[in-house]
Amino acid sequence: MGQLLWRVARNQQLQQEFAEQGYLVREHGRRSTCQADAMHPRRPAPVGIDLYQLLKARKAKEEQSFIDLERLPPELSITILSYLNATDLCLASCVWQDLGNDEYLWQGLCKSTWGHCSIYNRWSPPGFSYRRLYMQLDEGSLTFNANPHEGMDYLVSRGILMDHPKEMAKFIFYTRTLHWKMLRIYLDDRRDVLDELVTLHNFSDQFLPNALREFFRHIHAPEERGEYLETLITKFSHRFCICNPTLVRELHLSPDAVYVLCYSLILLSIDLSSPHVKNKMSKREFIRNTRRAAHNISEDFVGHLYDNIYLVGHVAA
């Protein structure tokens, strides 16, 4: 950033010196001074902050720190601030008091990190501070990643979240600060929250493997087979059929058939991606094995499923 500012300042210095000297290059390398300023008036100086003058003044005063952001153009200050994370902004607030007390800044940080909280939709009481809310949300997320139930209790006890499965599901769906292992533990215990979380997904007009990837991107699949994985696939199958009634009617799909296809896709993903499997499953074998369990599914549709896994990759990675 410093080199970029100095390059801009140097270009402005050369242009200023060239304009002040008023030299005009003629043929044969001869130079003459322009005396007719009235006939050729110089363009007015641009309105705004001269970066060269700032750098020159800083150098003259032998300042070692960076230029105060308040003296820079707003767009440049915003660019600098965009490289700072939340911790850096908190530290910067000790220096830039206006920034640290800017409620619009803290409101944007809250809503960009935690997309949904019940408190966003309530009337703000007197003395409400988004900066304080950010600290509480950050503390709640850290607590959740250590103990998910205590983390949710922390947010509910401070009025940030309503003690309702739908509100908790929205908080989880629009938040990216929760660790997937702790999230899996919480959803395995709170099936009511899991049900609400599944309904937030919209799989309309999505190819089955792509919809399954999106589902496992928000709700991570367990590393081992078991009752929890079966529950996830069952809930996904019902939701996929609800979102795609036309496809269900045309291909004669049902939640049970989608369940079988999802399990086949997961097994195929493991077979094709695992380095321990030497003899990979062929497309013909996948079609034959899948249609044994789902008789009404067309061979072309199952073949497209195989092609997607082969080209795109694992559905639960």
Reported confidence tier of residue 102, pLDDT bands at 50, 70, 90 = confident
pLDDT at 224: 72
Q: How far is the CA of 165 from the CAs of 20, 171, 193, 194, 266, in angstroms?
A: 71, 10, 5, 8, 29
Model confidence at 213: pLDDT above 70? yes
- Domain layout of the chain by residue ranges: 2-79, 86-190, 201-312
- Mean pLDDT check: name the lowest of 147-161, 215-229, 233-247, 265-279: 215-229
What fold is seen in the domain 201-312? Arf Nucleotide-binding Site Opener; domain 2 (1.10.1000)
pLDDT at 23: 38
pLDDT digits (tens, 9 = 90+) for 35-70: 444 444 444 444 445 555 655 555 555 555 556 666
Query: pTM of the full predicted structure?
Result: 0.66
- Mean pLDDT check: name the lowest of 41-50, 81-90, 159-168, 264-273: 41-50
* Class of the CATH domain delimited by 86-190: mainly alpha
pLDDT at 75: 65
CB atoms within 10 A of CB 148: 23
Provide mean pLDDT across the span 93-107.
70
Which residue do the tokens 């094995």 mark? 289
